[in-house]
Amino acid sequence: MSIWRVEPSPAELTERGRHSLAGHLGIRITAVGADFLQATMPVGPRTHQPYGVLHGGASVALAETAGSIASMLCVGPGETCLGQEINANHVRAVREGLVTATARPFHLGRRSHVWHIEIRDEAERLVCVSRLTLAILPPREGVPP
């Protein structure tokens, strides 16, 4: 059974973020399964830190993008998802290629969501593990969905 209230295609989800940070970092939504969402990001000069490896902040941006989009697919019409807290443990350096984030829910409540996000390299080695907490705000009168 799927956890999603709506199921747009990965291409539609990628297009929504084209003019945001996700688009600038080259983040693409690649898969939406019954209980997970996957996104990829290229590792290169745009996402490197000065030592030529993946910047931890870029990993966090990928994790928050995957978890936030996943949360958005779980809420009701007009509800808003806002990040409250994110943490990340960076466990492996990556110099080039593509990293993939997989977001799965720990908790999907009425007013908060908690997501577990793992980022892996092309050899499936763990690069970063993150936990994202989002506040779920009810619809507000006069605010478009």
List active site positions: 64
Whether 117 contacts 59, CB under 8 Å: no
First and final CA of the chain: distance in angstroms?
26
| Closest listed residue to residue 106, CA positions, set 40, 39, 35, 38 | 35
